[in-house]
Amino acid sequence: MSEKPARSPGEQVTGAAGPPPPERRLARSNDYRREALADPDALAANLGAINGDLMTIAYRLLQATDAAFARSDSPLEDFASLLPAIGVGSQLARQIQRFAEFARRLRPPQAPKPALPLAPGPDGSTGPRGEENGS
């Protein structure tokens, strides 16, 4: 089994498996804000804009925290001094989730998507306990 090369602390991971580059992450927050502001409903538009702002603040805080860890000679010993920033980041993430859920509830209900057909089971049936679906 081959070993992956070690990364230095704070090294940015890119590619499909890693986080997006900072510019892309910030651009997506701006896209979210721009799309929200286009909403004709004033409450939904402002809620989305605020949420986009919080996303940007949360990401900037994450970058600052990551940079502080990368600069530290003993990250575990310095962890306690970063706990307030980590706590604020956690609160921001929770508030972003709350606003996103509220914004989702403000949207009118959409028609349900059609159900996908069930694949036949080992006995050839498509319903539960050997029954045919729809009977």
Digit-coded pLDDT (tens) for 43-89: 999 999 999 999 999 999 999 999 998 888 888 888 888 999 999 99
pLDDT at 19: 66
pLDDT at 76: 82
pLDDT at 135: 47
Name the CA radius of gyration of the chain, rounded.
23
Query: String of b and e for 32-71 (b: at least 16 CB within 10 Å)?
Result: bbeebeebeeeebbebbbbbbebbbebbeebeeeeeeeee
Quickly state the pLDDT bin for 132 (edges 50, 70, 90): low
> 17-43, pLDDT tens digit by residue?
666 788 899 999 999 999 999 999 999
> 84-123, pLDDT tens digit by residue?
999 999 999 999 999 999 988 888 777 777 777 776 766 7
pLDDT value at 7 more than 50: no
Per-domain boundaries in the chain = 22-108
**What is the rounded CA–CA span in Å between residue 13 and residue 29?**
20
Q: Tokens at residue 42, please?
A: 């004033």
Higher pLDDT, 16 or 86: 86
pLDDT at 21: 84
pLDDT at 117: 74
